[in-house]
Amino acid sequence: MNKVFNYVSGWGENIEIVKNDGELSHIYWSFEDKYYLAVMPHKGNDFRYMLRINLKTTFDRWSNAEEEYFFDNAEDMISYMIEHV
């Protein structure tokens, strides 16, 4: 998750992090007209990295995110963001 944080800190705005047991577990940030949430692997997401994206104008709560993607590793998540964000 630190790799994801390092990538996001290069361009994300209003970055907030959440730690669980001393480990980075969630990263919230915004960029242009969207909000982003990256979640580290855990039982609830089938032990995969999760990325949620929502327009700022329609944001309600993360469980209603307009886009939701799952990745097997941090590198795949970063590659997706390089191509699509």
Mean pLDDT confidence for 30-59 = 96
Given a cut of 90, is residue 26 above it in pLDDT? Answer: yes
User: d(Cα 43, Cα 57) in Å, to the nearest integer?
Assistant: 31
User: d(Cα 67, Cα 78) in Å, to the nearest integer?
Assistant: 16
**Beta-ladder partners of 57:** none
Q: With H, G, I as helix, E, B as strand and everything else as coil, classify residue 40.
A: coil
Tens digit of pLDDT for each residue in 46-71? 999 999 999 999 999 999 999 999 99
In the chain, where the domains are located: 2-84
pLDDT the model gives residue 85 = 86
**Percent of the chain topping pLDDT 70:** 100
